[in-house]
Every structure is written in C-alpha cells, then in structure tokens.
Amino acid sequence: MEVGKLTAQLRTTTGKETNTKLRAKGLIPVVCYGGKDAPLNLQLSPVDLQKSLDPVKGRNTLLMLTVEGQQGTIPVMVKDSQKHVLRGHFLHADLLRVDVSKPVKATIPVAIVGKSPGIAAGGTLHQVYRTLPITCVPGAIPAKLEIDISTLNIGQAIHASDLKLPVGVTVALASSTTVCVVTAPKAEKGAEAAAGTEAAAGTDAKPGAASAKTPAPAAAKAGDKAAAKPAAAAKPAAAAKPAAGGKK
C-alpha cells in the first residue's frame, strides 16, 4: 500500500458481534462520512491503513480512498481512530471526506532550531506551544513547523505573528500569543527567593510572643492591671459567741 492511497470494501452488516468477527479475520470496521454524500460503512486492513499514512504527518495525511466496486476515488483524512492499548494496531477508524481546494483544520508539531544567545547566557527557554493549530488545504499541511530561536535574548519571545509559515498556511491563534520565551536564569531567581525567606525568618517572632510593633490584646492588658493591684486585706473573723446558758 502506497502512502496516500487506501483501498476498502463495503460492509453490509454492522454491530458489535459483526465487528468482532471482522477483526478476527484481520480487518477493521471503518466509517466514511462528510460532504453531501451519505456515510459509507467500510472494512479494510489495519496494516494497509497504517502504511497509507505518512510516517511523519500521521493523521494529517491526505488519502485517496478507493472503494471496491465503485468508480473514482474519494479524498479523505483520518478524523478519529481507536488503537489496541498494548499492540498499537488500529481497531476502528473514521474517515472524513474533504475538499482538496478548501482549507481544513489540523494540528502540527513544533520543532525548535538554532542556538539562543539568551540560553547561552544562562536563561531558560519556555516552549508554551509544542503543537500549533493551523488551517490550510489538505494537501499542503506541513509535517512540522520549525521556529528559529537564534536571535532570542533573555526576556525576548516569539509570538504567533513572528512565525514564518509556508504559503497558504495560517495559525489559528491571536497574533500576540506567545509561542516560546527565554526567561531570566533560575539561579538568580532562586537566590532572590532564598534571601527573601531568610529575611522573613529573621523578623519572625517566637510562637506565642507578642510582636514589638503589635500592641498586646486588650484582654491581656486588663489581666496585667489586675495582677498589679495588691490583694484586698482579709477581714478578721467574728468572735465566737458563748453558748447559751454558759458563764464566762
């Protein structure tokens, strides 16, 4: 199977049990939809599907689908798919009909190239976007987008408006969106943070001790005044009266 070419057969029955039997034969169920035509229930080899995809572009590959028993080809792209968790082969796929003359949405990986003088000076590169949403005609989807950082110094960034795009490709982001930036060295930030922590630790009062700048609570003051006053003298006990009828 060539890259960009795919062959499938019409599937007359559907359902979970049918799909299980289909996979046992080495085929997978596929649905082709989109455009003005009715959806097609198809079956094809998962190996052929994998071989038809560009190894770099993957699902962004424009495929020319041939359905056995029908004339012509249908331009499609893989819209969605399900793969085996362990083995990695296709279990199901959705193919979307596309118009080769109209833009479609896609996501492509970003590749950073060049040596930044800011990084050489100790700065750190923060790559905000590792993939980018783009729009263009199906056949012009690039495999990746290279971003040259050889002019970036510390504190400088590359925004969506700075990207050098192939003809006919647009990025679906606001022009002011930051794609990557070189920030100040972490060592300096760490030293500043440590200094701030030490300064804060030096001014912290012991647990339970009142701060020199914070007045003691009113309740505490009232307690202090009460403690400062001498205790009231105890009154002498009254003399015991003699028992009735008794003589002195």
Binned at pLDDT 50, 70 and 90, residue 1 comes out as: low
Binned at pLDDT 50, 70 and 90, residue 186 comes out as: low
The reply to whether the predicted model has a pTM over 0.75 is no
For the chain, what is the mean pLDDT?
81
Helices (H), 204-217: none
The CA-based angle 190-159-165, given to 5 degrees, is 140
Region 104-187: CATH code: 2.170.120.20
221: pLDDT strictly greater than 60: no
CATH architecture, range 5-97? Beta Barrel (2.40)
Residue ranges matching CATH 2.40.240.10 in the chain: 5-97
Residue ranges matching CATH 2.170.120.20 in the chain: 104-187
pLDDT digits (tens, 9 = 90+) for 65-113: 999 999 999 999 999 998 888 777 899 999 999 999 999 999 999 999 9
**Is 113 strand, coil or helix?**
strand
pLDDT digits (tens, 9 = 90+) for 28-52: 999 999 988 999 999 999 999 999 9
**Residue 205 confidence (pLDDT):** 41
Q: Based on the number of CB atoms within 10 Å of its own CB, is 179 exposed (0-12), middle (13-18) or buried (19 or more)?
A: buried
Q: Whole-angstrom Cα distance, residue 76 to residue 94? A: 10
Binned at pLDDT 50, 70 and 90, residue 197 comes out as: low
Q: Is-contact 185 122, C-beta < 8 A? A: yes
Read off the pLDDT of each residue in 183-195 and give the average, rounded to a whole number.
59
